[in-house]
Structure 1
Amino acid sequence: MYRISKEFHFSASHQLAHLPQGHQCARLHGHNYVVVVELASARLNEDGFVRDYHELAELKAYIDEEFDHRHLNDVLEGPSTAENMARHFHDWAQARWPEVAAVRVSETPKTWAEYRP
């Protein structure tokens, strides 16, 4: 199996108001997010790629337009957790590129959430 990945960055605020009072994530706060999309294929295309990285520019445009410097509670359905974002970006990307195997979202350099069906 061949695997490729590409990383994207954006900054946004969110609030997990459903958490108990005093929980740090219940307060309005922000992160510098990292999104990594992974594509996999048993075969390479005629150009020798799983998929041309240039094609993934559509995901960058989507992130820049809809997520960068936004309040994620206004953008996403459900809690604006890294787990929900990973699923959201996975579903969005796989609708365009069937080779999408997983998406990881990081809120900090030490934490990651991944959606892999």
Structure 2
Amino acid sequence: MFTITKQFHFSASHQLCRLPADHPCARLHGHNYIVEVELGSAELDENNFVRDYHDLAVLKRYIDDTFDHRHLNDVLGHDTVTAEWLARHFFEWCRERLPETTAVRVSETPKTWAQYRP
């Protein structure tokens, strides 16, 4: 299996409204997110690519236009938007447009990552 990955960055706020009021993540706060998409294929195309990295520009536009400097709870219409939830959201969005998508990872901090891989 050949795989490629590419990272995308955005800044946004969110609030985990289901947590107890004294939990720090229950308060409005923000992160500098990193989204890493992985694409895989058993075979390479005629250019010896899994997929041309240029084709992932569609994800950059989606992230920039929809998520960057926004409040994620409002954007996604959910009261608890976690990194795990975002990883699945981005996976499903990518899989519809880039069928070679095999996994998506989302980081909220330099030391934490959540991954969705069906």
Scaled to the shorter chain, the TM-score interval is over 0.9
- Give secondary structure in 2 for the equivalent of 1:56: helix
CA distance in 2, matches of 1:11, 1:67: 8
CA distance in 2, matches of 1:40, 1:8: 18
> Which residue number in structure 2 is paired with residue 95 of structure 1?
96
CA distance in 1, matches of 2:17, 2:85: 15
> Which residue number in structure 2 is paired with residue 48 of structure 1?
48
Number of aligned pairs? 117
> Which residue number in structure 2 is paired with residue 3 of structure 1?
3
RMSD over aligned Cα atoms: 0.6
Offset, 1:77: 4.0
Say if 2:45 is the partner of 1:60: no
Matched to 1:80, the amino acid is V
Identity of aligned residues (%): 69
Matched to 1:109, the amino acid is P
CA distance in 2, matches of 1:116, 1:45: 23
> Which residue number in structure 2 is paired with residue 15 of structure 1?
15
TM-score by length of 2: 0.97
1:5-31 Cα shifts (integer Å, max 9, x gaps) = 000000000001110011010000000
Say if 2:16 is the partner of 1:30: no
> Which residue number in structure 2 is paired with residue 109 of structure 1?
110
Matched to 2:96, the amino acid is A
CA distance in 2, matches of 1:40, 1:59: 16
- Give secondary structure in 1 for the equivalent of 2:106: strand
> Which residue number in structure 1 is paired with residue 69 of structure 2?
69
- Give secondary structure in 1 for the equivalent of 2:76: coil
Offset, 1:74: 0.4
Offset, 1:76: 1.4
TM-score by length of 1: 0.98
Task: Spell out structure 1 runs of 4+ moving beyond 4 A.
Answer: none
- Give secondary structure in 1 for the equivalent of 2:48: coil
